[in-house]
Structure 1
Amino acid sequence: MRSWLKWCYRMLLGNHPSAKASAHVEGPAIRGSRLFAVIIGINHYQDLQVPSLRGAVTDADAVRDFLEISLDVPSSQIYNLRNRDATRSSIIDAFTRLTTDNRIEPGDPILIFYAGHGGSATSPPGWDGTKSELLIPYDYEAKATPMTHGIPDRTIASLLDSLAAAKGDNITVIFDCCHSGSGTRSDKEDPTYRVRGIDVVSNVPPSLDKKIWAAASQGRAGDLASGFLRSGMRSHVLLAACGSGEKARERNGRGVFTTALLDVLVSRTSSQMTYTQLVDSLPSLPEQSPQCEGFHRNRPLFDDRAPLHANPIYKVRVQDGKYTMDAGAAHGIADEAVFALYTDPLTSLDALLIPVANVVQVADFETTLEAPLPSSTVIKTDVLFAKQTLHGKLATFGVYAPHGQLHDIVNELANRPPRIGRSLYRLALVDESAADLRLGLEGDNVIFDFRNPLSAPYVPSQLPVRLPLVGDRIHRAIQAAAHYSWHLHRDNTNSHLSLQIGVEFTQVEATDEWDRRLRRIARPTGPNLIADGLLDISVDGDPMYGIKLTNPTSKDIYPSVFFFDAGDLSIKSWYQSPTSSGRVDPPLPAGGSLTIGYGSSGASPFHFFLNDGQDIDVGFIKIFLSTRQVDLSDIGQHSPFDVCRCCQESPGMYGGWSTITITVLQRRGPTRA
């Protein structure tokens, strides 16, 4: 029966008739998947001046069928809105009903899908940014009295913020639309395409949806903001059909993006694929670069269990018998590493094509592989997928433990094969004088003496935490320390890029203005606090801070920012550049700047605190800079101790990637400045 349904579903993907809206019926019991969804598709609009589409409803129906058949989601858990049912009030109401649905438990997966027109308009006074992006509902009418407006990103962001506050951050948002219109019923460059975007000529009133975004913003000033099309988002993961300035298109009655997305999903078990892998698996779309944004983009689809330091999968280009992998030194690839090559990004056993591919040369962003093959082997594809199987040259992370049970626990871990991934270290039992990490016993608890030369001038090397003498917990702590150490100290000594990028760290204060991401607008209030690579700040009064990066070069820069907490070995992601299977909009463009913690980056201001009994602590802001997009999201880690701490340039002038490290000294009372 299921096989027959799947066959029907594949047929439906090619040609499914339009369906009427079905109500979201709340019931007492849940059978099958716990996923809940709002699925919106609009082909025809009330205002006849808005060009009709052909494939938005079909796309929405196909997504619904994928959920019901492939993921076993009950229809009662899906709120469907099509054409005339997808009015402005109905779309907003759908978000609200998810927020108040008592069947949805915190952490349950939630999907919001929209296919239809998008647009952009000049932001009103008092809103952050010059442009607001909008979804165009069925009853949008720019010249009617009263006027029905589009739904701006500020409103969508507030609805998502409220939803995340009530139900958790396991929210997936898929938008198959764009925010620049063509003004015609087909693409001027290719009349076989239609564009899912219109030119919005009406102004957005400053108070539009004020009740929604004002209510959502109260009491959450310390959280990271959930911007509409901004990276750094924690409340949800966004999959968008194209980058800013590009056009989302449909052809032959189907959205190009949604069709490609479902073609990947329907042929795989979605729970085994992360959001990043999903976007990387999409074929090249003409003049569209799908975007994947959000802090949790490396968690499995629709699942709240994030993989811990998963082994990354890289694309390999095959041409004339040469294998070039789209990853290099900036990704942590080392000489002498070994990879296996697969025909499928999920790297299942039946997709294994070349078991051994050796590293020949490592450049900044790509690696040349050598793969000896039997003469009978024929490669029928120009793209393969690589997974690392053996480490190359490894740094050694030395651990000392006194003889006895603790020594045996460490010895067992040191004798395991090195972990595959980006933490390029080998664990070794060493003498006490050579140890990076010294373990000891204090009663029944294990103490950790972490010898970090960057923090040694400011705080004792012994961590203010303890663990019971339990093998698995000790192993996790050692691996976390090694991961922390390797990423904190890694750098590209051949690049001068870090010397060119300006970094300012200033105190900020909230104003009475609101941005479109539902936060009070914060403004810098003082000078740059960084002096010779050191931030010496007081936590008294719980001040807020922000970062500004300035790029005076002619190179676009893709930054990632992390905070390394020396007290508990956690690594917190403060900012990550978006990912895409095609072009990625540079967050720090040539000659431009990027603010983090205020402005339009999608992150709220930062603050620091000390635990009870602490008068001083130290941490490190690590800024990774790259002239290409590099996904570094798996650098982040939770604490293993279960605590909550919180002119024209010559090519290659600056090198491809670099880092900046800033020491953050947090103290009670006045600073030395």
Structure 2
Amino acid sequence: MAQKHGLSEHEELLRTLWINANSHQRDSINPATYKRPTVLSSCKPPVYALLIGIDHSESFQPLRGAVADVLAFKEYLENEVAVPTDRIVVLLNWSARRRDIIEALHDIAKNEQIKRGDPIIVYFAGYGGEIIYAEDDVKRTSQFIVPQDYCHRQGSEVPAIPDQTIAALLGEIADVKGENITVILDCSYTMSGVLPLEEGSSTRVRSAPISPRIHPPGLDRDIFQGSGRFPGLSIRTPFDLTAQRFILVQACGPSELALETYTRGNFTKAFLQLLRNSPPHELQYSDIVSHIDQIPSQSPRIQGPFMGKILFDGKVLITHKPCFSLKVSEGRIQLAAGKVHGITLASEFTVYAISDISFQAPLGILHIRSLGPFSADLASPPGDKPFMITDTAFAVQTKIGEREDVRIYFPVDDRILPCYDALLTLMDTGDEALQHIKIVPEPKDAHIEVSIENDKVVFLIRDQQVLQYGLTRMPHDIDPTFEEMFSVLKAAANYYWKFNRTNDEPEITRNVDLQFYKLEDPEDYFASSPSNMTPTGPSLARNGVIELVVEEGVGYGLHLVNNSCHDLYPYLFYFDCSDLSIGAYYQPVRNKDQEFIEAPLKKNGGTLSIGYGNNGTLPFAYFLRPNQPVDVGFLKLFLSTSPIDLSALPQPTPFNVTRSGVNFSRPARDTWGTILIPIVQHRFAPNSSSAESCPQCGNVYTSSLRIKADILATENRNLKQELAIQRDRSSLEIKQLRLKCDRLSADIKANSVLPCRSDARSKDPTRRNNHLTPAHPPTLPTRPSDSFHRQISISASATNYLTNIFGDILHWMRKLSHR
């Protein structure tokens, strides 16, 4: 759509919403015309980044998303943060050998372009591994990242890189460049629970079994002892030797698996999404865990002493950041921005006297006191001294507020003006459950994209946790009316709040095993007792994902094993991504007085079957709507040590004709943990290579072929980008090698004359050594002088070094030509 009034499409949407709000006199600030926020351009940040991605390993099955993650991270740094390309070092696949990674970390400390205090980012995506050592009857776990050339074959051993080696190298960097270092690892280490990869599987695990034989406890001792900081192997936990010197961001907990789905890592995808929605200069490290989108089966970890600091020490700013005007009226400080601008409660703003903030000290800090759609009331934090606010004062958000429940993208279209009114009404409500709706400027940053097709409002799915499995839209549409839209938006806000409601309690969640089975019964299972049904075949829950082919008349059940030391109350719900409904699969039984009975899931090996057995629950059944080749939902298991009331959590779909009865009250907070597992329901087997027609409607579906084509297209695109990076890297190294060759050639020419025995011929000024023929060779002295030995040694050493350099040049030229 063409831009109007010189505004971007997103700004045009905000202007339209503003005018609509003013027509209802809904907000506290009502100027006659829309005033766009001032946009400030920031200088290029002094970031230095080392990005490492390995899909193709010498010893393990290829991954599909590590290189794509690195390229996405590089694109974010270049485009969103404006980091110069020459300050981003990328090591991909065959350029990420063991020696390459160690040398790249060494080079950071020696790089004169990096000043002390500059933000340094070290990112790794690939395989990880771990080994448990027993020393003096004490077990110690060491974690590793796996380089491209890792090999355990006899005679060709190349070990992985242990945590103490990385810690020593990072300590070396911190000594010279300061402690503004952020290490991001999208890999896992444990092999517990890793199942063999099946053909057509959508997920791969970034854990690898590494051999203890080639990883003795003293591996790389020369590196971590040579620094003088680490005289012995007293590491209790990975990275704890330099835990006070950098921040470590890990994709999952120590006993969890880092997963990639098709061509992207689940953590990196969510992490970059967070950085796009919440710029680094607004995020504290502690905010990463609380604000990142929930990742099934993964709980990101942040370690280090600087949890309360802004990411990268606040030195990484987005290239363009909004600067909002302030107004003081009747003792109230009003900000010309509100919910539609993405402002949430608990946000923090830094106030400057004028909009040019580059060379001035801030006046002070203000916090959100109350929030409306287009404005907010601000106040100084408790205990801070008030300061004078001038007419030219501006505010820049410097700390993120509460996380949003749902992100929505709206187009600018006059046909859905009633939908805008529904959105504003929802934002203006006092219901706390509906406060956190965020309008985003691009569809890729949204959970849901609202669109208009054939005068109907449709909802496109942009949530990457769902989109990655092939579900692209909700199979429903509505009329563009206030009532219809209000109901859907209200349900979406509540759905995503409940979906994102999580609590990581490792003592509980990591000790509960969840298995999902297809059930077998010789008769129609609806007509028979579930107690007679039995699981058949292996568990369909593999590496954190359940994938099944929908079959008519087939039921499914779930089996829980509690290996913790607590009796547990389980609550199981199904979140349907196609219609925003939440269904209850299991809740503990109450007696006639509505009191909970004893905990159903006993400690120390207790089991519970849901969907079959004698607990009175029915099997789970799944279906696909006409013209729907794939559907996606999520099983969410709440586990609590005491009974809690979650009866308000289920909700019906807002797309039914009657929409009454949706309860939006929130249950009380208790001590509990959650397990989230996606269920991907296919019409045909994911590894099917041929198109088939649907027996219900006759339509031909090729979803498996489309997914494979998308994977191949992504891999092809990544290979082209990798080739370009490798060409640039090879060209630079060849230039550097040629310069070394030129210098060495000059040195060899200057020292190429060898001394001969002092005789008449050598003293004859008319004769030169280079005129000697084989008939008159130079005669070496019986007792060569020290000078002679030195020159021979220099010449031989230089010749050998030059030979090695030319060999390297030929190697790179062949490699470049091959690529």
User: Shorter-chain TM-score: which interval?
Assistant: 0.3 to 0.5
Between Structure 1 and Structure 2, the one with more strand by share is 1
Which protein shows a greater Rg? Answer: 2
Greater RCO structure (CA 8 Å; 6+ sep): 1
User: TM (normalized to structure 1)?
Assistant: 0.42
User: TM (normalized to structure 2)?
Assistant: 0.35
